[in-house]
Amino acid sequence: MDAILGSLIILVMSLAVEAEMKNGFYSTSCPKAEAIVRSTVESHFKTDPTIAAGLLRLQFHDCFVQGCDGSILITGSSAERNAAANIGLRGFEVIDDAKSQIEAICPGIVSCADIVVFAARDAVVLNDGPGWAVAAGRRDGRISLSSEASSLPAPLDSVSVQRQKFAAKGLDDHDLVTLVGAHTIGQTDCRFFSYRLYNFTSSGQPDPTINAAFLPQLQALCPKNGDGLKKVALDKDSPAKFDVSFFKNVRDGNGVLESDQRLWEDPATQTEVKNYAGTFRGFLGYRFEFEFPKAMNKLSSIEVKAGTAGEIRKVCSKFN
């Protein structure tokens, strides 16, 4: 009951804020803002294509703590980005680059929070994913605490825990599975899943849900007592393309993170995975392309500061 009430409160607050946000929010005050973010993301992507997944993850981690308010961008020993759950976050330099260019022509107009959301959308497009209109008008928050990052989903989370964390933000099972689909272009470190390969639940054996043909491939990538920081693609088949193969991997026991593979064990989330994985590749692929933008817009509306709340930072990494 508390979770339902919390979700309703978030929904009401989100609807009130959305009334102050709109597509083309900067069309008059800073008409080049979105184009500058897009060209900046493209520039960094040409040098390092893996930055796209980093920018997408950055929005997710920002919105799940204090809402979509740029709190993840603040530096400092007790700031959000220093939390254990945010280890390995990337893309800060892209946001800073875009912000400095925008400040040069439109000082004090465009929030860092909006830049994060624009950049995530542009990153998906660069990986052959869908584009979508982003309602803007978010303002930057004045709080960033690493102690609040416990609300973020984690690689070891069961589906019930993932469900609770998403529901607390007004997101349902459909949103959960759809947003986790972002892992189609993601990477992770060996240290976050190697326990599944050698000593699952302290059994001295691998996780039995890992496909028998996939296990030796993962063990070769992440040898026992090997480099825990080595990067591994979360989608073994098309890691640079935004598509539905991630869901096919989960269906077939080829999920890398435990939290991803568990989606196949819960009846409700399994149904969602099946709907995306399917057999009619083209049709269902387009369905994911249709659903993902809707889920991202829902995510980007979480606990947004608008109107006179918060501030418009001059530099994204520090409060004014």
Q: What is the DSSP string of the chain?
A: -HHHHHHHHHHHHHHHHHTT-EETTTTTT-TTHHHHHHHHHHHHHHH-TTHHHHHHHHHHHHHTSSSSSSGGG--STTSGGGSGGGTT---HHHHHHHHHHHHHHSTTTS-HHHHHHHHHHHHHHHTT------EE---B-S---GGGGGGS--TT--HHHHHHHHHTTT--HHHHHHHHGGGGG-EEEGGGTTHHHH-GGGSSS--TTS-TTTHHHHHHHS-TT--TT-EEESSSS-TTS-SSHHHHHHHTT--SSHHHHGGGTSHHHHHHHHHHH-S-HHHHHHHHHHHHHHHHHHHTTTT---TTSSB--SSTTS--
Q: Has residue 9 got a pLDDT over 60? A: no
Q: Do 89 and 72 form a contact (C-beta atoms < 8 A)? A: yes
What pLDDT was estimated at residue 278?
A: 78
Whole-structure pTM value = 0.91
Distances (CA, A) of 64 to 24, 88, 301: 24, 16, 11
Binding site for Ca(2+): which residues? 62, 65, 67, 69, 71, 80, 184, 235, 243
What pLDDT was estimated at residue 284?
A: 46
Per-residue pLDDT reduced to its tens digit, 99-132:
999 999 999 999 999 999 999 999 999 999 999 9
Cβ-proximal residues to 177 (8 Å cutoff; 6+ apart), any chain: 263, 269, 272, 273, 276
By annotation, the residues acting in catalysis are: 61
Place of tokens 């606990």: 303
Binding site for substrate: which residues? 153
Per-residue pLDDT reduced to its tens digit, 224-279:
999 999 999 999 999 999 999 999 999 999 999 999 999 999 999 999 999 999 76
Binding site: which residues? 62, 65, 67, 69, 71, 80, 153, 183-184, 235, 243
C-alpha to C-alpha distance for 99 and 2, rounded to whole angstroms: 39
What pLDDT was estimated at residue 286?
A: 53
